[in-house]
A and B are shown apart, each in its own frame.
Chain A
Amino acid sequence: MAFGWVGKILDVDLTTKEITVRDTMAYASDYLGGRAMASRIAWDEIPTGIGAYDPENRVIVATGPLTGTLAPTSGRTVMASLSPRTYPMPWYTHSTLGGWFGAELKYAGFDAIVLHGRADSPVSLNIRDGTAQLVDAQDIWGLDARKTQLTLKERLGQGTQVLTIGPAGENLVRFATVQHSEENAAGHSGFGAVWGSKNLKAIAVQGTGSVSVADSDALLREVIGAGKFQVAPCVGVLRRSSESKTERRPVCSQACTFDCYINDYGHTKDGRRVPRVCVGGVWSDQGQQMSLTKYSGSGVEVPAGRNFGPQEEAELHQLCNSLGLDLWFRLVMQPWFIRCQQLGIHEIRGHSIEPEDAEGFERFMVQLAHREGLGAIFADDLVRAMDELESELPEELIRLGRELEFDFGFPAHREGRFWDGEPLPFWVISAMMHISTSRDPTIGTHESSLLHADFFLENPELARHQFRRLSEQVWGYPDAFEPTFENKAPVAIWSQNQHMLIDSLPLCDFAFPQLVRPMENRAEWEAAEDISGDIDLGRRLFLAVTGVDMSWDDLTHMAERAFTLERAMLARAGRGRKMEEALTSHFKLPCRADGTFIDEAGFSRLLDEYYSARGWDLEFGWPQAELLISLGLDEVIPEIRECRSRFADEGVGPSESSRLAWPAGC
């Protein structure tokens, strides 16, 4: 009997309607679950060379061994697929969501679902206690995400947990989400559009089963020891006061017992209380946080976003979730449109732009989700709209749009320039993660590195003193967070490995790893000599739940194996050094916090340092045979060799050949 895992993976062929089951434990020892397990399934089963909307693309919905248990923040789910959002071509990536779906899936007897094919008309997948069936969903196709969930709960029972797409996914908007509950979404990777392309409207699940726990006493001991209502993210201590500690904020995931500073409640115009999380939450922050989009440097001007007021923002936020749009579009498109107006441009292709009018912005969101009017131009994302509008708009605007989504089509995020102002060395660590990850790397690494920049912005001297000690403890050298360009690859790689584990167990990256310990208040931080947290907690939770005693070396090895498979899939897609060097243009812009930047030669050295530390070659940045053998991935070697040969033979770098290789419309 396995503890933690429930033992079965559901395979759903949407074309033939055939549903079968496979054994989870075939993956568990080498890939744990969640994102790592998905990487293995994707490598084995997603054919090379297809687009995101090809029926043979897989949608993998995966929980981990901790999902459904009492382990704090473990109620998370991972989704993975080829993404239609990644630019300039589709590649495999992942997205995670909190909520209550993953736990219910396990109570229904399944650790994961693998979907492929394409239904000939809209369907939903209903799962209940070990059984699954595809049912006609034509009557709910067109409903928004909230109404879809309310409808399915009415039909199937209020305890039903639902994943669904809204109109944006149905209309193949490239940043369409898969929504769950009020607020949760697989939001960033455009998987809503992949669902739409498969005619998959929703997955509804009900379960009455259990997740067995190997050592319930140990799990209870760890959970009680972790404390309740501790501040998370740990950096939230900077904003916590004795008054705010008594405030009650919503959770975004089952089993979260933390007091999370990225969550809050809001109210819609009709008085309905709603949760607001992170990007959605900061919209309603009285304009204060919207100023974080403001940037000026090297000819790039990003205006501050416009906040419409608490209730208007709550309305927009709810609408965004209902339509199934990634909340992040607002952070790049609104400032871009405001800059258009500042430059005297008030309409695009005959459509007026109204970024500072709440109702106008609401109309734009609806148009985006339905690919109508102005929305039709931007539904393929801002960066692709720049390609479309290149000959029609001033060069400054085209450049701005491309910089705002410089990260292969993902919105700029914690890169020290446009959104948050991480000083050196945090943006260097961020840059290393940007060059090597399939998607915005920040979402998943908040507590393992990037968020701690806030301590340095608050009190640089104190933070440097504390983090030198911490650096020595964790990485064995003192200058991991010193403001230099050197020796940052170990931090980036450690952070990415933690990210992989967090997405695979799973846990929430706003609470794990506890690099810095939760503290009661700002005064405690200011008085602290040792701020180190309980980094081992995640491993011990895994041990208590599964009974599997893995060392950190074992867990790191597992994380590296899965990350390497993800990298191998980027190689398949043709993404490599040449495309990653192109990110230099963004990091040449001066950092907002301290004015630091990097030139081409310096950025190239960062790539060399990172690739070398990973065991990747310096020409393409792809895994070398020695690394693959050490990770037990010998079977990957021939395909990587073939990729190198293919791209070298074509006489062009990976980026150019790949652009040519991909079919239009994907």
Chain B
Amino acid sequence: MVMTGGQRIHVESHLCRDCQACTLACSLYHEGQCNPGLARLAVTKDMAKYEFHILICQHCNSPECLLSCPTDAMTMDGRGVVIIHDEECIQCGACAARCPYDAIFYNVAADRYLKCDLCTGREGGPLCVELCPVGALMLET
């Protein structure tokens, strides 16, 4: 059994307004460009119901992604956050397939898997939490 440090981003999707500030900020912070497809979280919309859903890693106590990775591409850092190491990743997709929150994302153009790292090293914590104007994302410890 692998145990995390307990930090995670609590999601209240019903508050979401689809402004995408979280995904844009995430891709900007991590990749230096604005592209929701390069974000470590996703906001999806069901137009028929006018409902939005936020998908983001919940930093499971027993992370299936980490357990399913056939290489050394996933490790857990001191905070209990699972990190993807691109150089070790063979893009097999096992982690994404096992994620119960659909929160590991494959970017076709970059041929990379992406997941939330709680903005490693950022003073002030995860940027998406800081910028979400309606409190749909909140850091829980």
B31 in contact with A223 (CB, 8 Å): no
A-B CB pair tally, cutoff 8 Å: 100
Task: Write out the residue numbers on chain A whose beta carbons fall within 8 Å of the beta carbon of B36.
Answer: 107
Q: Which B1-54 residues have a C-beta within 8 angstroms of A?
A: 15, 17-21, 24-25, 27-29, 31-38, 44-50
Q: What's the least CB distance linking B109 to chain A, in Å? A: 6
Task: Write out the residue numbers on chain B whose beta carbons fall within 8 Å of the beta carbon of A100.
Answer: 18, 20
Q: How many residues of A sit at the interface, in one of the four size bands?
A: 35 or more
The answer to whether the Cβ of A334 comes within 8 Å of any Cβ in the partner chain is: no
The answer, among B17, B27, B37, for a CB contact under 8 Å with A251, is B17
Which residues of A come within 8 Å of B, CB atoms?
68-70, 75, 100, 103, 107, 149-150, 153, 158-159, 181-182, 208-213, 216, 219-220, 223-224, 228-229, 248-251, 253-259, 272-275
Task: Write out the residue numbers on chain B whose beta carbons fall within 8 Å of the beta carbon of A272.
Answer: 49-50
Which residues of B come within 8 Å of A, CB atoms?
15, 17-21, 24-25, 27-29, 31-38, 44-50, 107-109, 127, 130-134
Instruction: Given the known inter-chain contacts A210-B38, A224-B131, please indicate yes or no for A251 contacting B109, CB distance below 8 A.
Output: no
A220 in contact with B29 (CB, 8 Å): yes
B29 in contact with A210 (CB, 8 Å): no
User: In the complex, what distance in Å separates the CA atom of A259 from the CA atom of B17?
Assistant: 11
Top-7 shortest CB links A-B: A210-B35, A210-B33, A70-B24, A229-B133, A228-B133, A257-B133, A69-B34
Task: Write out the residue numbers on chain A whose beta carbons fall within 8 Å of the beta carbon of B20.
Answer: 75, 100, 103, 254-255
Task: Write out the residue numbers on chain A whose beta carbons fall within 8 Å of the beta carbon of B29.
Answer: 216, 220
A213 in contact with B32 (CB, 8 Å): yes
User: In the complex, what distance in Å separates the CA atom of A229 from the CA atom of B28?
Assistant: 20
Task: Write out the residue numbers on chain A whose beta carbons fall within 8 Å of the beta carbon of B108.
Answer: 208
Task: Write out the residue numbers on chain A whose beta carbons fall within 8 Å of the beta carbon of B25.
Answer: 70, 220, 223
Return 14 A-B CB contacts under 8 Å, by A number. A70-B21, A70-B28, A158-B46, A210-B27, A210-B37, A211-B34, A213-B32, A223-B25, A223-B131, A224-B130, A229-B134, A251-B18, A255-B24, A257-B133
User: In the complex, what distance in Å separates the CA atom of A210 from the CA atom of B108?
Assistant: 13
Of chain A, the residue at the smallest CB distance from B136 is A248
Further 10 A-B residue pairs, CB within 8 A, beyond A211-B35, A254-B20: A100-B20, A210-B38, A216-B29, A220-B28, A223-B25, A224-B131, A251-B18, A253-B19, A258-B133, A274-B50
The answer, among A70, A103, A107, A158, for a CB contact under 8 Å with B47, is A158
User: In the complex, what distance in Å separates the CA atom of A318 from the CA atom of B61?
Assistant: 45
Of chain A, the residue at the smallest CB distance from B50 is A273
Q: What's the least CB distance linking A81 to chain B, in Å? A: 27
Task: Write out the residue numbers on chain B whose beta carbons fall within 8 Å of the beta carbon of A70.
Answer: 21, 24-25, 28, 34
Instruction: Given the known inter-chain contacts A216-B28, A223-B131, please indicate yes or no for A257 contacting B47, CB distance below 8 A.
Output: no
Task: Write out the residue numbers on chain B whose beta carbons fall within 8 Å of the beta carbon of A212.
Answer: 32-33
B34 in contact with A210 (CB, 8 Å): yes
User: In the complex, what distance in Å separates the CA atom of A275 from the CA atom of B134?
Assistant: 16
Instruction: Given the known inter-chain contacts A70-B28, A158-B47, please indicate yes or no for A256 contacting B35, CB distance below 8 A.
Output: no
